[in-house]
C-alpha cells in the first residue's frame, strides 16, 4: 500500500474506532429524531381535558358552544359568583367563561376565569367559536344569509411556475426548495466546522507529541497533511451516512410508535402532525382545507418531480466535500503554526469568518435566490459551498454551477498549496509565538 493510503487508513481507523465517534453516531440521530418527534408528541398530549362553566348574560351563546373531544361546556343557571365558587370547590370544572350582556356592541371584555391554566388550544377554540358566532349574528342582522357568505369565501393558493430560457415551464414549490436548500446548507456548515477543527486538532496532536519528525522523515509533509484531510473527510462522510440511515430508522420507528399509540383517537390528524410539524388545520374550515390539502399535496409531488434530485444529490456531495476541503487545509495550517489549541484562536478568525458569513447570508439568499448578490456569493469559492447549495433547489443554470464548481476546485488547490507551505515550516517550530508576519515569511520559503 502506498504511504498516503497508509496515512488515510490510520486517520480513518483511529477516529472511527473512538468511543466518542460511536457515541456521537448513535446519539446524533436520536437527538435529531427527538427534535422532530417530541414537539409533535407534546403538542398532542397537551390537549388536556377542559370542563368550562359558561355564564352567558347575553343569552346568545347558550347551547351554541359545541363540545369537542377534550373541551366540554356546561351551562349552569346560576350567577357568576356562584359559578366561580362552584369551580373552585369542585375538581370537575376548570374554568368559568363569562360573556357579558352587551357582547354584540362591545365584543371585548369576555372573561375566562380559571383555577387551572387552560391550554392555548382551549383558548383559541373559545375565541374562534365566539368570533364566528358574533360574525354570523352580525351578518344575519344586516340581512346576509349564511349561504351567500359560504359562496363568497375564496381560498387562494399561488401556483408558482418557473419559465426557463428554452421556454419550458416547470412548476416549483418555493417552500420545498427552501427546506431542501437550507437543510443542505446547514449540513455543509456543520461538516466544515466539525471536521475542519478535527484536522486542526490532529495536526496539533502530532506536533505536541513530537511524532511529527519521525513521520516526515518517512513521508513528505504535504502527503501527511493530505492523508489527514482525506482520512478525516471519510470519517465525516461515514458519520453523516450513518446518521441519515439511523435517523430514517428512528424517525420511521418513532412515527409508527406514535401512530400505534394514538390510532384509536385521531389517526388522520396525527399523521398530518407527524408529517409536518405545522399547526393543525383550524376548525371549521376542515371541508375546504381537505380539498385544498389534496391539491397542495399533488402540487408538492409535482414540484418534487420538478426539483432535479440527481443534480441536488450530486451537487450536495460535491459542495459537502469541496467546502470541507477548501477550509480543512487552512485549519491544518493553523494547527501547524501553534503549540496548543488555546493559541489557535487568533488564526481561526479569518477562517471562521467567511463560513459564518455565508451561513448568515444563506437566510438572505434563500429569500432572493436570483439576485446579483446571491449569484456572486455562490460563485466565490469561500462562500459557494453553502450559498450555492441553498440556491440549487430553486434551479441554477448549468453554466453557473459549472463555474462555481471549477472555481471551488481551483480555490481548493490554492488554499492547499498555501497551507502546505505554512504547514511544512510550522510543524517543526516550537515554543515561538507566531505572528501573521511570521506566517507570511514561511509562505515565501522555498
Partner 1 sequence: MNHPIFRAENVSKAYAGHVAIEDISISVPEGSIFGLLGPNGAGKTTFIRIINQITGPDTGKLWFNGERLEEKHLGLIGYLPEERGLYKKMKVGEQALYLCQLKGLSKKEALSRLKYWFEKFGIQAWWNKKVEELSKGMAQKVQFIVTVLHEPKLLILDEPFSGFDPINTNLIKSEILELKKKGTTIIFSTHNMGSVEELCDHIALINNSRVILEGEVKEVRSRFRTNTYNIDFQGSMMQLSASLGTYGELIEHEPEGDHMDATVRLVNGATTNQLLGNIMRTVEVKGFHEVIPSMNDIFIEAVERYNRENLKP
Rounded CA gap, 88 and 115, in Å?
Answer: 7
Question: For the chain, what's the residue count?
Answer: 446
**213 near partner 1, rule: CB under 8 A:** yes
* Contacting residue, 169, 205, 265, 295, with partner 1 by CB under 8 A: 205
Binding mask 313-352 for partner 1 (x = CB under 8 A): ----------------------------------------
Nearer to partner 1, 216 or 403 (CB): 216
Nearest-5° angle of CA 116, CA 117, CA 119? 130
Q: Which pairing describes strands 111-114 and 95-99: parallel, antiparallel, or unpaired? A: antiparallel
Rounded CA gap, 96 and 108, in Å?
Answer: 16
Q: Which residues contact 340 (CB under 8 A, 6 or more apart)?
A: 204, 208
Helices (H) and strands (E) in the chain, counts: 16, 6
* Contacting residue, 211, 241, 263, 373, with partner 1 by CB under 8 A: 211
**Are 177 and 393 a contacting pair, CB within 8 Å?**
yes
Measuring CA to CA, which residue among 52, 59, 101, 56 is closest to residue 79? 56
Q: What is the size of the binding site for partner 1 (CB under 8 A)?
A: 25
Nearer to partner 1, 2 or 142 (CB): 2
Q: Which residues contact 29 (CB under 8 A, 6 or more apart)?
A: 242, 243, 246, 247, 249, 250
How far is Cα of residue 300 from the mean position of the Cα atoms in its chain?
19
Site for partner 1 in 221-240 (CB under 8 A): 221
In the bound complex, what is the minimum distance in angstroms from residue 441's beta carbon to partner 1? 5
Look at the block and give the residue holding cell 495536526: 203
In the bound complex, what is the minimum distance in angstroms from residue 375's beta carbon to partner 1? 42
Q: Which residues contact 191 (CB under 8 A, 6 or more apart)?
A: 236, 240, 320, 323, 324
* Contacting residue, 113, 123, 216, 288, with partner 1 by CB under 8 A: 216
Binding mask 17-56 for partner 1 (x = CB under 8 A): ----------------------------------------
Handedness of CA 261, 263, 265, 266 (dihedral sign): positive
**432 near partner 1, rule: CB under 8 A:** no
Rounded CA gap, 205 and 212, in Å?
Answer: 9
**14 near partner 1, rule: CB under 8 A:** yes
In the bound complex, what is the minimum distance in angstroms from residue 26's beta carbon to partner 1? 21
Site for partner 1 in 409-428 (CB under 8 A): 428
* Contacting residue, 152, 156, 166, 214, with partner 1 by CB under 8 A: 214
**171 near partner 1, rule: CB under 8 A:** no
Nearer to partner 1, 221 or 335 (CB): 221
Handedness of CA 55, 58, 64, 69 (dihedral sign): negative
Nearer to partner 1, 337 or 379 (CB): 337
* Contacting residue, 99, 130, 212, 334, with partner 1 by CB under 8 A: 212
Which of the ranges 84-92, 191-199, 204-212, 393-401 carries the binding residues for partner 1, by CB under 8 A? Answer: 204-212
Chain residues binding partner 1 by CB under 8 A are 1, 3, 6-7, 10, 14, 205-206, 209-221, 428, 441, 445-446
Amino acid at each position: 500500500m502506498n504511504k498516503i493510503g497508509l496515512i488515510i487508513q490510520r486517520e480513518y481507523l483511529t477516529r472511527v474506532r473512538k468511543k466518542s465517534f460511536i457515541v456521537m453516531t448513535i446519539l446524533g440521530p436520536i437527538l435529531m429524531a427527538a427534535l422532530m418527534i417530541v414537539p409533535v408528541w407534546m403538542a398532542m398530549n397537551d390537549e388536556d381535558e377542559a370542563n368550562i362553566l359558561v355564564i352567558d348574560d347575553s343569552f346568545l351563546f347558550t347551547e351554541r358552544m359545541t363540545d369537542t373531544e377534550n373541551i366540554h361546556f356546561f351551562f349552569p343557571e346560576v350567577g357568576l359568583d356562584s359559578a366561580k365558587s362552584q369551580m373552585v370547590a369542585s375538581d370537575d370544572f376548570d374554568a368559568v367563561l363569562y360573556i357579558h350582556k352587551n357582547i354584540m356592541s362591545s365584543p371585548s371584555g369576555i372573561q375566562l376565569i380559571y383555577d387551572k391554566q387552560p391550554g392555548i388550544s382551549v383558548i383559541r377554540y373559545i375565541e374562534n367559536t365566539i368570533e364566528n358566532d358574533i360574525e354570523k349574528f352580525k351578518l344575519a342582522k344586516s340581512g346576509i344569509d349564511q349561504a351567500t357568505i359560504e359562496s363568497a369565501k375564496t381560498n387562494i393558493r399561488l401556483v408558482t411556475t418557473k419559465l426557463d430560457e428554452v421556454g419550458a415551464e416547470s412548476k416549483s414549490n418555493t417552500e420545498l426548495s427552501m427546506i431542501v436548500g437550507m437543510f443542505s446548507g446547514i449540513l455543509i456548515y456543520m461538516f466544515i466546522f466539525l471536521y475542519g477543527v478535527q484536522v486542526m486538532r490532529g495536526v496539533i496532536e502530532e506536533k505536541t507529541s513530537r511524532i511529527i519528525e519521525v513521520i516526515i522523515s518517512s513521508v513528505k509533509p504535504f502527503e501527511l497533511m493530505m492523508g489527514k484531510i482525506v482520512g478525516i473527510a471519510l470519517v465525516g462522510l461515514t458519520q453523516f451516512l450513518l446518521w441519515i440511515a439511523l435517523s430514517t430508522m428512528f424517525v420511521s420507528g418513532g412515527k409508527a410508535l406514535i401512530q400505534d399509540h394514538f390510532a384509536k383517537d385521531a389517526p388522520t390528524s396525527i399523521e398530518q402532525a407527524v408529517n409536518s410539524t405545522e399547526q393543525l388545520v383550524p376548525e371549521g374550515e376542515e371541508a375546504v382545507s381537505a380539498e385544498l390539502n389534496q391539491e397542495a399535496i399533488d402540487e408538492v409531488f409535482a414540484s418534487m418531480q420538478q426539483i432535479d434530485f440527481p443534480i441536488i444529490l450530486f451537487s450536495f456531495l460535491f459542495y459537502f466535500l469541496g467546502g470541507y476541503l477548501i477550509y480543512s487545509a487552512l485549519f491544518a495550517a493553523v494547527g501547524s503554526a501553534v503549540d496548543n489549541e488555546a493559541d489557535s484562536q487568533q488564526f481561526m478568525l479569518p477562517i471562521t469568518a467567511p463560513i459564518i458569513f455565508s451561513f448568515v447570508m444563506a437566510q438572505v439568499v434563500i429569500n432572493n435566490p436570483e439576485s446579483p448578490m446571491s449569484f456572486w456569493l455562490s460563485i466565490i469559492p469561500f462562500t459557494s459551498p453553502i450559498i450555492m447549495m441553498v440556491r440549487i433547489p430553486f434551479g441554477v443554470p448549468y453554466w453557473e454551477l459549472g463555474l462555481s464548481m471549477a472555481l471551488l476546485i481551483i480555490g481548493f488547490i490554492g488554499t492547499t498549496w498555501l497551507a502546505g507551505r505554512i504547514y511544512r515550516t510550522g510543524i517543526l517550530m516550537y515554543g515561538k509565538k507566531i505572528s501573521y508576519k511570521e506566517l507570511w515569511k514561511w509562505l515565501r520559503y522555498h
